Chains A and B, each alone.
Chain A
Amino acid sequence: MIRGILRVFIMTVLSIVLVSGAFTGGYAVSRLAFPPAPPPDGGAPADWKPFFPVFWEAWNYVKQDFYKTPVDQNEMVYGAIGGMIDSLGDPHTMFTEAKVAAITSTELQGSFEGIGATVEMREGRLTIVSPIKGSPAEQAGLLPNDVVLKVDDTIIQNMDVNQAVTLIRGPKGSTVTLTIQRVKVAPFTVSIVRDTIRTPFVESHMIPNSTIAYLRLNDFGATAPQEVHTALQELLAQKPTGLIFDLRRDPGGYLNAAVDIGSEFLKSDQTILIEKDKQGHVQEFKAKPGGLATDIPMVLLVDGGSASASEIISGALKDYGRATLIGTKTYGKGSVQNVNTLSDNSELRVTIAHFFSPKGNEINDVGVSPDKEVKITDDDIANKRDPQLDAAVQFLQPK
């Protein structure tokens, strides 16, 4: 009896082993005959080959499973390029797909219609660098470092900066609604009527009841050096005892303009900036002769909206002790971009160099600190007070 059970048991085990062995064998033979295709590398460079197949896994899942169909394969390729470029971690190195690149280049030809704010993409968030003085953006109360979450109904997280800009721009008189996130304030919306924005723009006058001249530059555009030169001539003819140069909320512009304008205040051959590229090549830009205001006591007004070319001037005048910097720390954009046109007319803007102040101080991400920090509070703005300008006037006032 026991033997019978044992026998049945052995037979059962043996059958299971044999059957599963046959199954596994069949599977193994088939696997040899029909191996699963490895994910393709899509022509990746050698050091990418171990890593890139996972991209095609994700790509396939999207094509196979994503609920919206059909997906636009070209947009996915553009998205992938944009994402790869974004992962370099530099907000100024960016990819713009062909059709968007075409729109932005026409808009750069002169004045444009929009709200008048310089913006950039920082960690996937569209950030206001500075509202242009007198622009609808400034009148609406936008501030440097405000993050734009939405333009009308479009969420712009991780969007290409140019694409976001084309959403904000539009015909004069039309309205755009922005959802803004500001540090320590709940997100809010603001509606702005677009207008024609003209740059550059120099503003100059004598400070009333004083011997101090005031010069403000809104943008380092192509004609800015000439406008600054003319304004300085007019101001100096009034024999001022001090000069206030206001670069607050000046987002910068052309490097050449920065060198020309810097030359007005520095002695010939003084270094204005040092540019270093990735191979370590160093190029120094020096002041040209013939500066109009190389000796007059001077205050430079700066704030968090003073960027790029504004920071070149700030760094140089500070390093030589040529001017006293009053205000708050500058923005921290000290990089130079090269604009590449790719084979399909897409545009790839790459940071190819950083610039440094004459003493070799890094500007990018660091900014230039004022000699004398003076802040402007919300209360000051509401009451139209300008304590930074007041501090500058007081500093230059003959004792």
Chain B
Amino acid sequence: MRAVLRLVAITLLAVLVLFFAFSAGFGLNYYQVQSQPTTDIPRTFNLFWEAFKVANDQFYGTIPNPQVLTHGAIRGMLGSLGDPHTVLVEPEPAKNEQTNLQGNTGDVGLTLDMRNGVLTIIAPIPNSPADKAGLRAGDILIKIGDKDLTLEPLSVQDATNLLRGPVGSKITLDVHRIGVTQPITADLTRETYALPTVDAKVLPGTTFGYMKVSLETAETGNEFAKALDTLKAQKVTGLVVDLRNNPGGLFPDPVLDIAGQFLKNNDVVVIEKNRDGTEKTYNAGSRHGATDLPVVVLVNSGTASAAEILAGALKDYKRAVLIGEPTYGKGSVQEIRQLSDGSALHITVATWLTPNHTQIEGTGLQPDIAVPLTDDDISKSLDPQLSRAIDYLKKGA
């Protein structure tokens, strides 16, 4: 009798479990279908086909195939949004983008952006081939290999892909530098270079620590903590954090971690403003290692993205004085959407605001103390920005 009961119970249980599994599968598809974005084709869209018909009937040249025209339509549609970072990446470059993310290719270490309609170097990554060749933040790319960008403009994604290639292969670049009449040519060899993290020392003849921070790797937070401990052990009385020519890199972890070192609380470091106006906040990490040391942050036009977040947060909380030049102004968040024909859509989904709601995108951050760095300074190996930082810490201390 008990055995029968047990059998019935087990069978019931089994049926119940199987029923739940079935329902879960059923529900999953239902949810997927329901959350599919719906297309309500605007009535005005008929004009598109009207225009195509006229062009198709009359156009003297050859009409490209529908795929080319479709991609043209997508690019034009995206262009109407007025955002330089929302772009279509064609299937071939989109594929390269995927493989490049998986490694084994060499690179020259340039972070690029489209600025004023021309391809501009945000900053060369320290110790990369581009950095060693003397390329600078703000240089304008006019030639990549055989491609003359003044005749045939390239998108950031296409140019970035073009710069990549097998380790050891060479690529020649021509750049314009503001104030230099002749183009500057750089012969670069693609490498896999070690991404820099944190470079720290006590500034000679002072009691101030100097930290050059890169935000490229996940290890940065730990390395920063280690370097900070070493400096504190040497009893530094002030800190210079150098974010010049720092194109950013990983977000959010290293930035939040490092910001937390200087802030007493887990304050808001950056606000991500989404399309519906909702604000997602990112708070500082909890390693409050240097909450009382006077801090100067060095910035310039090569300080971009995650580096601007860090500088902006420390500025807003008056936890650091920003010395140098206005920052780059790259403060928007892109996501990649794969399209069904293999192309990809880079779409700006949010913008970053500093804790005081200063928009980073476009305008960048203004330094508290503006100190330019001239070509003359560079040729004489002078660093008036760092000198000003040391002066500031001496007076403040």
Contacts and interface: CB of A to CB of B under 8 A. Distances in A.
A22 B140 CA distance: 59
Contact of B37 (A60, A184, A346): A60
A61 B347 contact: yes
B55 A42 contact: no
The winner among B24, B27, B45 for most chain A CB atoms within 10 A is B45
A50 B33 CA distance: 22
Contacts of B140: 186-187
A373 to B, nearest CB: 22
B69 interface: yes
The winner among B39, B71, B335 for most chain A CB atoms within 10 A is B39
A328 B195 CA distance: 51
B77 A348 contact: no
Given A56-B39, A77-B47, A123-B152, A23 B22 contact: yes
A351 B61 contact: yes
Interface stretch (A147-155, A217-225, A295-303): A147-155
Nearest to A126: B117
Interface residues of A, number: 100
Interface in B27-46: 27-30, 32-33, 36-39, 41-42, 44-46
A22 B60 contact: no
A318 B13 CA distance: 96
A90 to B, nearest CB: 6
A157 B153 contact: yes
B182 A184 contact: yes
Interface stretch (B97-105, B205-213, B348-356, B385-393): B348-356
A23 B21 CA distance: 5
Given A85-B51, A350-B55, A158 B79 contact: yes
B186 to A, nearest CB: 16
A351 B61 CA distance: 8
Interface in B121-174: 140, 150-153
A353 B73 CA distance: 24
A45 B76 contact: no
A74 B179 CA distance: 42
Contacts of A62: 77-78, 81, 86, 347
Contacts of B29: 27, 30-31, 34
A108 B337 CA distance: 44
A189 to B, nearest CB: 10
B152 to A, nearest CB: 7
A16 to B, nearest CB: 10
A346 B47 CA distance: 9
A71 B337 CA distance: 18
A273 to B, nearest CB: 15
B275 A83 contact: no
A252 B122 CA distance: 42
Contact of B60 (A23, A72, A184, A353): A353
A52 B70 contact: yes
A149 B36 contact: no
A150 B25 contact: no
B49 A88 contact: no
B72 A87 contact: yes
A24 B26 CA distance: 8
A55 B72 CA distance: 10
B58 A350 contact: yes
A54 B60 contact: no
Given A40-B41, A187-B176, A24 B25 contact: yes
A64 interface: yes
A90 B52 contact: no
Nearest to A27: B25
Contacts of A343: 46-47, 50
B12 interface: no
A299 B239 CA distance: 73
A81 interface: yes
A36 B86 CA distance: 27
B152 A51 contact: no
A376 interface: no
B276 interface: yes
Interface string A112-139: 0000000000011100000000000000
A13 B46 CA distance: 57
B63 interface: yes
B88 A58 contact: yes
B76 A67 contact: no
A93 B57 CA distance: 13
A71 B78 CA distance: 11
B59 to A, nearest CB: 5
B116 A150 contact: yes
A399 interface: no
Contacts of A351: 59-61
A48 B117 contact: no
B47 A26 contact: no
Nearest to A84: B73
Contact of B67 (A22, A51, A157, A354): A51
A340 interface: yes
Interface stretch (B293-301, B311-319, B338-346): B338-346
B73 A278 contact: no
Contacts of B17: 15, 19
Contacts of B151: 123
A118 to B, nearest CB: 20
Contacts of A84: 48, 51-52, 69-70, 72-73, 76
16 contacts: A22-B18, A25-B25, A27-B29, A30-B30, A37-B33, A44-B49, A50-B66, A68-B81, A79-B79, A88-B59, A125-B117, A155-B84, A157-B153, A184-B182, A184-B183, A338-B58
Given A26-B25, A58-B77, A62-B78, 6 more contacts: A26-B27, A55-B74, A77-B45, A83-B79, A84-B48, A88-B63
- The 3 lowest CB-CB distance pairs between A and B, nearest first, are A83-B76, A87-B72, A79-B80
